Amino acid sequence: MDHKNKSSSAPLYEALLAYRDSKQRSFHVPGHKNGQAYRHFVEQAEAGQSPAKDIVNEEHQHKVEIQSNAGGNVNRRIEQFSSVEKHGADLESGERYGDEGVRSEIELAPVRSFLEMMEMDVTEITGTDDLHHPEGVIREAQELAADCFGAEESFFLVGGSTAGNLSLLLTVCDEPNSIVLVQRNVHKSVIHGLMLAGARAVFLEPWVDPASGLAVMPSVETVQAAVQSYPEAKGVFVTLPNYYGMGADLTPIAEVCHAAGMPLLVDEAHGAHYGQHPELPVSALSCGADGVVQSTHKMLTAFTMGAMLHIQGPRLNRSLLRQRLAMVQSSSPSYPVMASLDLARRLLHVQGANTFTAGLAAVDAFKRGLAELPRFQLLQPAQQLQPEPPAGTAKPAGMPVSAAQRTREGLTAATMPSAAGYTAQDPFKSVIYDGAGVLSGYGLQQQLEACGCVPEMSDERYVVLLFSLGSTVQDAQHLLQALHHISSADGHEQVQQSNAESSHQLAKGSAHYISTWNNLQEKTRYSEPISFTLQPIVETDTINVPIEESAGCRSAEMVIPYPPGIPLVYPGERISTSMVARIQLLRDEGAKFHGVSDASLQSLRLMKE
C-alpha cells in the first residue's frame, strides 16, 4: 500500500460510515440493530406521544427521512439532541409532560445520546473485516498505524494496554516457569500477565530520582547485572514513561538486551504521543524496543480502551503473538473503539507535529501562570545529560544520546551514570506540589476538584495535571484561577521560594518521602525469581494479622495503591519492616488500595507458616 497517499484516509472509520449510510437491513448481531431497538421510543418521547403509537409506521417514516436527506439529517439530529437538555430542564420543573411522558423521558434520556454511536456499532460482516484475521479495512488501518508510529507491524487493541501487556508476556513466556526480567513498579496488568503465563519474575529495582523521590525505570547497570545473572531470561520488561511523565533514554537498555539476545518489551501506555513532536520525548520504538504497548486513549484521541501494540525486529514470535492476542481479546471487538484508533492515527498522520500546537500552547500558558504562583512548584528533571544540539536545532526532550556521542564522552552502556533515569519529562504532564508543605497531593486534588478542575491523579505529595492535544488555553486559565483561589483561601499564598530553594528542600525531604511508586526492596538491584501462578491461595492456609505484626511473613494478597495501580506486595512475597511502614503511611495519608481483603488496611492477609 502507498502509505503516503493513503495516510489521509481512515479506512476502517470510512467503512463504518458507508455501512451506516447503506441502510441495509440487519439480520446479524448486535441486537440493538444499529440503535433501532431504542429509536422509536426516543422519538415518541420527544413527540410527547404515548408509547402505544404505531411503531412500524413511525420507524418507516424515520427511515424515509434519513434516506432523503442524509446530511441534513445530521443537523436535524444535532438540534434534537440539544433540545434534550431543554427537555431535561423542563422535566425538573415538571411542567411539560404528563406523568407518562415524564416517566418515559427519564427512562430514555441516557439512551438517546447513544443512538448515533449505535449506528456505527457493527460486527464482522462483509466489508468490515476481522481483527483476528485482518485482510481488508482493519489490515489497512493497522498498516497505516505502523507507518505513523514507526513500527514494522501494529495491532489494534480493544482492551487497552492491559491486553497488550498480557499478550506480550504470554508470547515471550512460551513455557511454564519462564524467567522474565521485570521492572518492579509495573501496572497490575503486567503482574496478571505473569500469573497467566505461570512465569517467574526477577524484579528489577527502579531508579529513584533523588530530587523528587519518584521511581522511574531501572538503570542500565541494573538491567545489565540481571541479564548477566539470568542469561536464560526470555526478555526484559520496563515501563516508560511513568505515570508522572518522567523518563529517560531507553537506547542503552535496548543495546544491553539485544547483546544478550533478549527482546526489550516496553509498557509505553502513557507515551502514545511520544516521538510525534520535537518537544515530546522520543518513542520507545525509536530507541530500539522490540514490542511496545501504547494506550492511544490516554494521551491521544481514541475512545477509552483503544490502544495499540507495535512490533519491530526479529526477536518476537509474531504468529504466537497473534494467537495470544486472540486469547485475551474479544472475538467481537468494538468497531467504534477500533475506528477511533484509525481516526487518532489519521489526525497525527495528516497534521504531523501541528497536532500538538494548541495543546502545547495550553501547557505553556499554564507554566507561565504557575511561575507567578510561588506556592505551587513544578516537577522537572534536575539535570539533562544530553549534550546541547547545534545552535538553531530543536532539542527533543529525552533525545537519545547517539552511539558516537556516547563514545566521544566516554559513556558506554556499562558506564552511563544512573542519573540517566530521569532526563525527559512529558510536557503534557504538569506535576505540581504545594511548596508551602501545607497540602498533600490528595488534599490539593480535592480542592482542585471543588473548583471544577479534575486532575489525573495524586499521591502524598504530587498532583498530576494531564494536558493533551485537546487542551485549551482556557483550560489552563481556569486551572490557574483555581490554584490562586486555593492559595489565597488558606492564607499561605505568601510563601516565597525560588525554584532552586524549593528543589533543594524537596531533595532533602525525599530521604523520608515515600511515593506510591516506590516499592524498593533495599540494597538489592534485582530479586530472586518469584513464581507467579493462577492457582488461588486456599483460604484456610491464610490468616488475618494486624498490619503492624506482619513484618517477616509471606503475604497472601496483593497490596495495590490505586492510582497508579502498582502492586507494593505480591502474594507469596515476604513483607519487610520498611514495607509495613510504607503501607501504613500511605494508608494514613488517604491512599486507596485495591487487592486487599481489608480495605481499611488495619490488617493484612498472610500465609500461615
Cell 544530553: give the residue: 386
Smallest separation, CB 241 to ligand PLP (Å): 9
* Residue 505: burial class (beta carbons within 10 Å; 0-12, 13-18, 19+): middle
Residues 162-191, mask of contacts with ligand PLP (x by CB under 6 A): x------------------------x-x--
Pick one of 243, 244, 335, 433: the residue that binds ligand PLP (CB under 6 A). Answer: 243
**How far apart, in whole angstroms, are the C-alpha atoms of residue 236 and residue 241?**
16
**How far apart, in whole angstroms, are the C-alpha atoms of residue 207 and residue 210?**
9
**How far apart, in whole angstroms, are the C-alpha atoms of residue 266 and residue 261?**
16
The region of 44-52, 155-163, 445-453, 583-591 touching ligand PLP under the rule CB under 6 A is 155-163
Residues 273-312, mask of contacts with ligand PLP (x by CB under 6 A): ----------------------x-----------x-----
Q: Which is nearer to ligand PLP, 34 or 239 (CB)?
A: 239
Pick one of 11, 35, 134, 160: the residue that binds ligand PLP (CB under 6 A). Answer: 160
Q: Which is nearer to ligand PLP, 42 or 166 (CB)?
A: 166
Pick one of 34, 142, 178, 239: the residue that binds ligand PLP (CB under 6 A). Answer: 239
First and final CA of the chain: distance in angstroms? Answer: 62
The region of 84-92, 159-167, 203-211, 422-430 touching ligand PLP under the rule CB under 6 A is 159-167
- Interface with ligand PLP in residues 562-581 (CB under 6 A): 564-565
Query: Measuring CA to CA, how many Å separate 450 from each of 134, 479, 488, 493, 582?
Result: 47, 12, 15, 18, 29
Q: Find the residue with minimal CB distance to ligand PLP.
A: 160
The region of 65-73, 76-84, 133-141, 157-165 touching ligand PLP under the rule CB under 6 A is 157-165
Distance of CA 498 to the CA centre of its chain: 33
**How far apart, in whole angstroms, are the C-alpha atoms of residue 171 and residue 192?**
14
Tallying the residues shown for the chain, one arrives at 609
Smallest separation, CB 247 to ligand PLP (Å): 12
- Residue 161 sits in the site that holds ligand PLP (CB under 6 A): yes
- Interface with ligand PLP in residues 12-31 (CB under 6 A): none
Smallest separation, CB 224 to ligand PLP (Å): 23
H-state helical runs in 207-356: 220-229, 251-259, 296-299, 318-328, 335-351
Q: What number of CA atoms fall less than 13 Å from residue 126's CA on the CB side?
A: 4
How do beta strands 264-267 and 236-239 pair?
parallel
Smallest separation, CB 346 to ligand PLP (Å): 20
- Interface with ligand PLP in residues 189-208 (CB under 6 A): 189
Pick one of 267, 290, 456, 475: the residue that binds ligand PLP (CB under 6 A). Answer: 267
Q: Which residues pair with residue 292 across a beta bridge?
A: 266, 310
Residue from 292, 302, 323 nearest 153 by CA: 292
Q: Which is nearer to ligand PLP, 267 or 557 (CB)?
A: 267
Handedness of CA 481, 487, 493, 497 (dihedral sign): negative
Angle (CA) 80-86-91 rounded to 5° is 120
Amino acid in the structure at residue 498: S
Smallest separation, CB 473 to ligand PLP (Å): 27
- Residue 429 sits in the site that holds ligand PLP (CB under 6 A): no
Q: Which is nearer to ligand PLP, 243 or 442 (CB)?
A: 243
- Residue 340 sits in the site that holds ligand PLP (CB under 6 A): no
Q: Which is nearer to ligand PLP, 197 or 476 (CB)?
A: 197
Q: Which is nearer to ligand PLP, 190 or 348 (CB)?
A: 190
Query: Residues binding ligand PLP: what is the number (CB under 6 A)?
Result: 13
Residue from 294, 313, 290 nearest 148 by CA: 294
Query: Measuring CA to CA, how many Å separate 199 from each of 169, 170, 316, 541, 572?
Result: 9, 9, 17, 23, 14
Smallest separation, CB 304 to ligand PLP (Å): 8
Contacting positions for ligand PLP (CB under 6 A): 160-162, 187, 189, 239, 243, 267, 269, 295, 307, 564-565
